[in-house]
Structure 1
Amino acid sequence: MSEDRELQQAAIIRFMCILTDPDPPINELVRFGIVYRLVELISRYPDQKHGAIFVLVKMIQSSYYQVLLDCGVVPILVQLLKSDREEDRLLAVWALGNIAEKSPPSYDHVISCGAMLPLLAQFDEPHSTPEMLLCASWTLRVLCSRYPPPPHELISPAILELERLLYSNDSDVLLNASVTLACLSETNDDDIIEILIGLAVIPGMIQLLEHPLSVVQLQGLRTVYAIMMGENDDYTQVVIDHKPLGGLMNFLTKTQRDNAKKAICRIVYKFTFWDESQLQEVIESGIMQHVIPLLENSDEQIKRYAVWAISNITEQRNHDDVNLLVAQGCIEALCDLLTSPKPYLVSAALDALGDILIVGFTGAGQGYLYITRIYDAGGFEPLVALQEHPNEDIRDKASDIIVDYSDYWDD
C-alpha cells in the first residue's frame, strides 16, 4: 500500500465513486483488504478521515458489515461524534444507527462502545441542522427501541431528550421520538415507567392523540394502552389523571385500524370499572356515542370490550346515563348481539337490556318506549328464542326480561 498522500486521496475518491454504482463490488474491496487500510488511514492521517469514513459508511449497508466491526470501526465512529465538523458527525450518527440495526450483537457492540451519550450531545449542539436532528432521532430510536433496552443509566438521559423532541415541528423527528417512547412504555419495566412518569412524558404522549397524523396518534395510544393495561394501579391512575378520553375519542373517530379500536374500547372499559367518578368521566366525554356503533363491528374483541363498557354503565342504573346511552342507539346495538354465537356477548347484552328496562320502569318514565325500541330493533324474537338456549344463565336472563314485562310485550 502506498504511503503517498496524494495517491491515497486519489484512491479514496475512486472508491467513493465506485460505491455510488447501483451494484458496487464490495466483496472485492473487502477481499483486497481495503477496509483495514481505510481504518489505518483514519487513525494516522486526519486529513484523509472524511473520505475514508464515507467509504466505510457506504460499506455498512452491505452483508460485509461484520468485517467493519472486526476492524474496530465502531470506536472510531463514536469518537467521530465529537468532531467539530457536522458533516463528519452526521456520517457517524447515520453509520452507528445502521450498524446497531443489523443484529443484536452489533447493537450490543454499539452500546458497549459508548455511543449513547455522544449521540445525545448532538441534540444540544447550538447549530445542529434539521438533517442532523432527523438522523440523530432515528439513530436514538434504533438504540432505544430494541428489547431489552439499554441500561437504565443511559435510558434516563435518552428519555429526557425524547420528551423534548415530542414538541418538535418536524413531523419525522416527532415520529421517531414518539415511536421510541411508545416502545419503552411497552417494556413492562417498572423502572422505565417510573422514568417516563417522572420526566413528564405521559402528558406529551396523550397530547399526540390529537395530532393530525394517524401514525403519530398511534404512538400516543400505544403508550396509554401499555401503561393502563399494566398491573400497577398507581401508573394507571397517572394516565387517568391526565384525562386521555378526549384524545382517544378524537383518534377513534378517525382510525380505520381494528387493533386501535380494540385498544381504545379496552381502555374505556377499564375506565368504567375503575371507580364511579371515572365512569362518569366516560359518559361526559361523549366517547360512548362512538363506542356503541362498534357493536356492529365484525371483530369479536372490539364487541367484547364495547359491550362490557356499556354493561358497566347500565349496571349503575343512573337514569340520566341510561337515557343518554339509549338516545345514542344503545338498545338497537344490543339487540344485534342477541343472535351472536358467542355466549359471553349475548349474556352481556342481556345484562345491559335488563338494566335499561329496570331504569325505564322505575323512574325514568321511558319503560314503554324502551320496550318499543326493542321490538322495532327486532329484539323480541331473539329474546323468546334465548329462553331455549343451552346456557342456563342466558335462559334465565332472557326469561326474566320476557316474564317481568309480559304485560308490555303483549301490547
Structure 2
Amino acid sequence: MSKTIQYQYDQNHLTNSAPTFYKESDLKDGEMLLNIGPHHPSTHGVLRLEVLSDGEYIKEVVPHLGYLHRCFEKHAESVGFPKVIPFVDRMDYAAAMNSEHAYAMGVEKMLGIDDKIPPRVEYIRVLVAELNRIASHFLAIGTFGIDIGATTPFLWVMRDREHILRLLEWITGARMLYNYIWIGGLYYDLPVGFEEKCGEFVQYLKPKLDEFKELLMENKIFIERTANIGVISRDLAINYGLSGPMLRGSGLKYDLRKVDAYSVYPELEFNIPVGEGKMGQVGDCWDRTDVRLQECYESLHIISQCLDVLTKKHKRDKDFDPQALVPKKIRPVKMDYYARAENPKGELGFYFRSSGKSDQPLRVKARACSYVNLSILPEIAKGVPLADLIAIMGSFDVVMGEVDR
C-alpha cells in the first residue's frame, strides 16, 4: 500500500493535495485504507470517500469534498438578483427548473410581489417543475440501477427522460440549464401546441412507470441488494436534517409543497409517498427508491391538473405577457430573508441579505439538500460490507454541483 499523503505545512504554503483523515501508521492488523472516487462512477462525479476497512467490512468512511468549486454564493454576490438564475441552474443541474422556481419565489416574497404573479405563470411554473422532478428522479433511479449492476432499467428511464428534455427544450431552447423562470414571471409563454403534446406524454408515461416498477422494484436481485440496507430511522433522519425522499423514505410525511403550501400547490391534489418497509425495514435503500418512483406518479397527476387548468380556466391569450411583472430594477430594502421549496432531492433554501443600497445581494447562502443529505453517510455506513456502501451512496441521489458549490 502506498504511503498515505498528508497535508504538510511549510511556513508559507501547503504541499501535496490529497488530505486524509487517517494515517497509515495508525492502521491495525487487517485494516486497509481505500479511496473510492473521485473517478468511480458510483460517487457521481467528484466525491472521494476515504474508507477504513477491516477486510470487506467498513469501520469508518469520510467523504472528502472540494473537486468542483462552483462558488455559487460568491458569484451570486457579484451580480444583480436576476442574473443569479443561470448560476442557480448549475447547482442541481438535473433539476434546474425546480431550483429556479425556489429562487424566484424567494426574491418575489422579499420584494412583496409574490401575490401578484399571474395564475397562468404560476401553473406553468408548477408544470415545468414537475416535469423536471420526474426527469431528476429518472436519473436518480436509473443511475442507482447502474451502480448495483442493472443496465436495462437505466436505458428504459433514459429513453423516457429524453421525452421530458425535448418538451423542456421546446419551451426554453435548452436541454438542462434553462434560465426560464424569472423573478416576476417567465422568459416565454408555452409554445403553441405544447399542452396537447404534454398531455400525450402523460398518457404515454403512466403504463411505462408500471412496467418499470415490475422490471426493477419487484426484481428479486434488486430487492436483495437494497432491502434492509442503509436503514435510516425516522429520528436519525430528523436529527441529521434530511429532507426530500431521504426523509420521506424513513416514514415521515413531510413535503414543503404541502407544509408551506407555496405557488398553486394548495389548489392541486396529490399524495405524499413515504417508506413503508414493504420489502425490508422502513428507511432502507429500497424504500428511498420506491418513494422516488411513487413521486413520479404523483407528478404526472399534478401535470395533468395543470394542463387542465391551462386549457380551460387560464387559456392562452395573445395579449398575455409573461414578463409583465418582471422588475426592471431590483433594489430591496435592507433586510435578511430565507426562502425554501421542495426540490426533487429535498429542501432547497436561499438566504439573502440585502444592503438596501444596491441591486446586488450583500450575502447569499444556499441550503443545498444534497450536501445535508450526504452528511449522514459516515453514520449509517459503519459495519456494512464494502459492496453495500455503493448501494447506500447510490440511494442518496447526490448531485455534486450543489454539494461543492
More helix by share: 1
TM-score by length of 1: 0.24
Structure showing greater radius of gyration is: 1
Flag the structure with more relative contact order, 1 or 2, with Cα contacts below 8 A and sequence separation at least 6: 2
More strand by share: 2
